[in-house]
Structure 1
Amino acid sequence: MSFARDISVIAGSGAVGEVLREMCDLTNMGFAAVARVTERRWIACHVLDKIEFGLEPGGELEIKTTICDEIRESGQPIFIDCVADAPMWRLHPVPILYGFQSYVSVPLFRADRSFFGTLCAIDPAPHVVDTAEIRAAVDRLAARVVAEIDTELA
């Protein structure tokens, strides 16, 4: 597994940068990223950070301190409008650790159905993100990222 190549290619992609801008605009969130996620690692490949979260491409979080690990295991997206109002999430250690209230993360499956990672967004303020329209738009953004990954990392 060449994480360095994944990071270099994706961090340098204008198309992925545009997806991250659209993700932040769509969700009103201040941080969005494409992360390479494995059983052992969470590595930022491309980042848009308007909230000074502090991650840059190549930055790594301990995998067990991420919700993306749960997405890797389940293969299902997660949309949270407000952590404080969500019984399943309000006491979850990850939002407490990073101080976010709204969260979106969707799995990125390559054309061969292998799991690459996630397209995710966070913000310290709550935002309405769990709507059919936003879910559909985020799915389209994720498909654009996967197309770029499959083209550039083939």
Structure 2
Amino acid sequence: MQDDLVRRAVEDGDQDAIRAFLADICSLTDMGFAAVARVTEDRWIACQVLDKIEFGLTPGGELAVATTICNEIREHGHAVVFDDASAEPDWRTHPIPILYGFKSYASFPIFLSNGDFYGTLCAIDPARRRIATPQVIATLRAYAAQIATLLEVRSPPTA
């Protein structure tokens, strides 16, 4: 039985428009996994997922929040993007890319209109991908904002 937070996250993500954004992200970046996640202080829950690399998550699936870069984004509120963790001084020995086996990573915070942090729009791939470009970053940032609007239509924020 799913708890209320998981149920709401899955309901929030069950939108054709969100699935289309994830498909666009994978096409634009050539990355094999993209997701919208609900991220709280103690939970990381997949709202919607496009998984072409057999990462193994489906909507409602959870990761231990402490083992996610999304948790770091929840704490500092800024996007994290890199083409190849093994080539980045800040990421080559970071335990999270090593744990999950990815090289390329992009994650953008999703903020609701009242300023609350909802979660992240993220993408990963085990291969190096050229994603840390101004054009890709601007596009993914815009997608995160549009996804926030879609999430609010489904579940309006509280004041």
Scaled by the length of structure 1, the TM-score of the pair is 0.97
Q: CA–CA distance in 2 between the matches of 1:78 and 1:135?
A: 10
Task: Return the offset for 1:104.
Answer: 0.2
Residues 139-154 of structure 1 correspond to what in structure 2 (within 5 A)?
139-154=141-156
Q: CA–CA distance in 2 between the matches of 1:72 and 1:20?
A: 20
Task: Return the offset for 1:6.
Answer: 2.4
Task: Return the offset for 1:9.
Answer: 2.9
Q: CA–CA distance in 1 between the matches of 2:23 and 2:62?
A: 21
Residues 96-111 of structure 1 correspond to what in structure 2 (within 5 A)?
96-111=98-113
Does 2:9 align with 1:6?
Answer: yes
Q: CA–CA distance in 1 between the matches of 2:65 and 2:105?
A: 17
Cross-structure match for 2:19: 17
Q: CA–CA distance in 2 between the matches of 1:6 and 1:67?
A: 19
Cross-structure match for 2:93: 91
Structure 1: unaligned runs, 5 residues or longer? none
Give every structure 1 segment of 4 or more consecutive aligned residues whose post-TM-superposition deviation is greater than 6 Å.
none
Residues 3-152 of structure 1 correspond to what in structure 2 (within 5 A)?
3=5, 4-10=7-13, 12-152=14-154
The more displaced of 108-117 and 142-151 is 142-151
Letter in structure 1 aligned against 2:49: V
Task: Return the offset for 1:50.
Answer: 0.2
State the identity %. Answer: 50
Letter in structure 2 aligned against 1:6: A
Matched residues, number: 153
Letter in structure 1 aligned against 2:134: A
Q: CA–CA distance in 1 between the matches of 2:68 and 2:12?
A: 23
1:8-30 superposed Cα distances (whole Å, 9 cap, x missing partner): 231x2001000100111111100
RMSD: 1.1
SS at match of 1:57: coil
SS at match of 1:107: strand
Q: CA–CA distance in 2 between the matches of 1:71 and 1:24?
A: 21
